[in-house]
Structure 1
């Protein structure tokens, strides 16, 4: 039986995925054990401080798994993981796979509001967080959550651990009582979740996306096949490792499957990244457009030998052709490969041998022959090639439902199992696809998706705000930034942007969700059916200098 709250693929579809070799019925534990044994003496993970072979990686992960077993962790236990791009993440990820426990991939920017919901919704028994990050003490946050979350038994921190907490470093150094035989005896169903990714949904806190062992292994295997990953290649992972792209598309997981190397680094600053590329002979890099733009305009780019870079994989947001052309001019051995992907499953990649004009204009095409894609109009009817429609998809690595969200699932999926993405696209004559916007009410800030509804509901709690509408406005680097449009209650002073941000910070939300522009209005433009017309709001604001 699948984990309660997980929507399985229909039996006839699952049988088809197995028959075609997509699902191999191997838990990720077995996949990692085999590839680490086959590549034992090769480098697996590099950091600025240490080189880690495949043998070292699996030995440390196995010891950590046995230590966590001693602490009571078992298959299907949920664990919130909020770690930086560093070696402990790799050890923990593999250790949880060996146990059949399910990591929930929280971002370092998440705060009380997000973490509390992840733990409460999932019934998480453990969390692994930093001790501090900038001005935030996560030990204080987790202590408050623990008081109201009876399921949470293990509070693990990367750093200083006060009473009631366990230091991750101590777990990594412990000599466990459990044996490898104890771990091998644990039964892991490949149809159960291997990981919970997070949605970029429009209805508030992200939903939990169950990615099974079968579909997540296939996801990475497919992505490796279209990114020209060779055994001697090296991936630089600087995007937050919790995201689907740097973790598994192909990401750390895919590069390990190929016996290649992964450089994990927690900063995206050019003065740190460029020396790593030169030092380690990096061949592949994951970026979002805002990051690539920043690097290309950094004077340091001319001071380092970046000739090893062969593929820059851009996702999370539409990349402008001018940026791609500049990157390939400054890095002449490099191809910028755009992709369109979602944590929910479907991946589209521009192929490296696509004609130049196709690589410039499109975000690629699905990477599996059994990825089913429909573009539909508002009535749910398929549109003709060249016409814009909402992307609907299903397939062997696309979810059939969010975790414990039956009401949302009824809206997010068609009766025959297609996921309603909310993304608007049209089909290019080449067979690739072009992004034309979205139907979802989201702000895409540098690849991070922000629910306008979530922030609007919080702003409505401000004592001076009568009504609010949050919209996306263009930004030269981030792609989009959030503008909060507010109507102030009569007779009350108008809050400043700084005052509004201070109010929102008190709600303990991720900092990337904070508005960067504030506009006050007497009334909002309305659509013919009486709803706020955000399209008209954006048009009006785009003509106003902030």
Structure 2
């Protein structure tokens, strides 16, 4: 381990690092150089569409240089850390690359995070800077949040605001797109490629997000390979309506994959189909990425308007959670979508369905791993390998999967094996063709009197009912059995709908006819109009459980 490796982060063992270099996975390029290369190769290509503003690669690189130079005048320097909580705006990419160029570690907060999460990031890292907007959704005032964090964290010295800065510094004053002589810009102080570049956030469903140290080498390897798998090129235009800081949005293949090939990111602040479809038409978008919760409103509007817009896309990626088989089928058959399923995690491992796969593979699996050196184990509760095709716990290690969370020694002892395999918490099975099928999360498995219920299986069955729009199965406590199951259902209403009691009986009979074992049929079914979501766009099952 290099003696300057980030304290509190776990480095790759040298024998693995050497192997990944020898195989050409790690090429010794940092993220600052990555942007420089794209700016030199594609200077006049449009990199970002943001509202009415277009930014070329040359302009983006100039703005990053200007931003890094002006930030350095505030005393920010290599080794510092900064929380970045910016919306879908071009300023996010400028600030991110400027911090990288200065050797400062960005901590990738999401707009939905509030004091509990953001304050924890400052406590864990002693970050000295905070970048955020003035207002967010429902007029949430991030400047008030900044004041709270500043009062609670003496380390926080610099606050930069996108929009009305009030008493703080303005982000828009940090950069412009005018070329300056090279000696006017601060020299790059970016860390070397084998060092930690930034801290991403875990997307788990429990507690405060853990911090994930990603190196330049490992992250850019996944970006380059993802761009190839996703068949991106200079003509690609990726609609970005998911949070820009999310790992899916950044690297699968995401904005960085687009920047690698010289394509364009089309930024949208509203994922509604009305806004998104308008952006697709205006900018001739070729690719889009969604989480499953956003797919339903998109296809319902397309069906209602008899709009073939989804068929015009080169690819619609769906990731972040398992896409229901029936929805995948509908996308392909009814809407003629070129669908790509993505199963990955901010900790590393990413799987994609490929464009040359058959229809069954694209609908019913989450595809193949990126690298031949993505090592995958599927184990039972006693850490023994399961039979081929059986469901088990997914463990992995590889050239872009971390070896430990940041400053989390106790948690790392539980989440990583002694030989470096990461316990993902996912329940999966591996088919004979190598494709992975996600069956749920181990912590979401319901133990009903000793009978194990995989929530994913029941949810997949329920969503096939023509009037079920969205569903989530959770555990509820029971004195006799320990746990019972409760299904929360969003129902497509019709004028002649029966009562909720009769609906529940109908759904139970539907599941029986579907072929589910009796113990897997939900003990309770509750109908709700709107589901709660986590900051990562997943259904918030913890909030649902509180409603029981």
- Range class of TM-score, shorter chain: 0.7 to 0.9
Unaligned runs of 5+ in 1: 444-470, 486-522
Paired residues for 1:92-491 under 5 Å: 92-133=95-136, 134-163=138-167, 165-173=168-176, 183-186=186-189, 188-201=191-204, 203-299=206-302, 302-303=306-307, 305-332=309-336, 334-441=337-444, 476-477=468-469, 479-480=471-472
Q: Is the 8 A contact 1:70 1:177 kept in 2?
A: no
Q: 1:414 is paired with a residue of what secondary structure?
A: coil
How far did 1:115 drift?
0.5
TM-score normalised by length of structure 2: 0.81
Q: Aligned-pair distance for 1:182?
A: 6.1
Deviation at 1:146, TM superposition (A): 0.8
Report the counterpart of residue 92 of structure 2 in structure 1: 89
1:60 shift after superposition: 1.0
Counterpart Cα distance in 2 of 1:51 and 1:260: 13
Matches of 2:313 and 2:474 in 1, distance apart?
34
Cα shift at 1:136: 2.2
CA-based RMSD of the aligned residues comes to: 2.7
Work out the CA distance in 2 between the residues paired with 1:303 and 1:430: 36
Q: Is the contact made by 1:67 and 1:175 (CA closer than 8 Å) also made in structure 2?
A: no
Residues of 1 paired with 2:384 and 2:435: CA distance?
20
- Unaligned regions of 5+ residues in structure 2, if any? 447-454, 489-519, 528-548
- The separation in 2 between residues aligned to 1:22 and 1:411, in whole angstroms, is 28
Checking the alignment, whether the CA contact within 8 Å between 1:18 and 1:24 is kept in structure 2 is yes
* Distance change in 2, residues 1:441/1:349 (3 Å): same
Work out whether residues 202 and 441 of structure 1, in 8 Å CA contact, stay in contact via their aligned partners in 2. Answer: no
Matched position secondary structure for 2:279: helix
Measured against aligned partners, the alpha-carbon deviations of 1:485-511 in whole angstroms (never above 9, x if no partner) come to 6xxxxxxxxxxxxxxxxxxxxxxxxxx
Q: Distance in 1 between matches of 2:242 and 2:31?
A: 23
Cα deviation for residue 545 of structure 1 reads 3.8
Deviation at 1:18, TM superposition (A): 0.6
Q: Deviations over 1:100-149 (max 9, x none)?
A: 22211111111111100011111111111111222422111211211121
Q: Which residue of 2 aligns with 1:454?
A: none
- Report the 3-state secondary structure (helix = DSSP H, G, I; strand = E; otherwise coil) of the residue aligned with 1:61: helix
* 8 A Cα contact 2:244 2:250, kept in partner: yes
- Whether the aligned pair in 2 keeps the contact of 1:45 and 1:51 (CA below 8 Å) is yes
Deviation at 1:251, TM superposition (A): 0.3
* Alpha-carbon separation, structure 2, partners of 1:64 and 1:244: 23
Partners of 1:481 and 1:280 in 2: CA distance: 39
**Secondary structure in 2 matching 1:437:** strand
Match of 2:478 among 514, 520, 524: 524
TM-score by length of 1: 0.81
- CA 1:34–1:535 in 2, change beyond 3 Å: closer, same or farther? same
Equivalences for 1:52-63 in 2 at 5 Å?
52-63=55-66
Query: Is 1:49 aligned with 2:52?
Result: yes
Matching of residue 543 in structure 1 with residue 524 in structure 2 = yes
Query: In the TM superposition, what whole-angstrom CA distance separates every residue of 1:366-386 from its partner, at most 9, and x where no partner exists?
Result: 110100000000110111111
Residue 543 of structure 1, CA deviation: 2.9
2:483 paired with 1:533: yes
Relative distance call for 1:297 and 1:174 in structure 2 (3 A) is closer
Give 1:494's aligned residue: none
1:394-442 CA distance string (max 9 Å, x none): 0010000000000000000001000001100111122101111111359
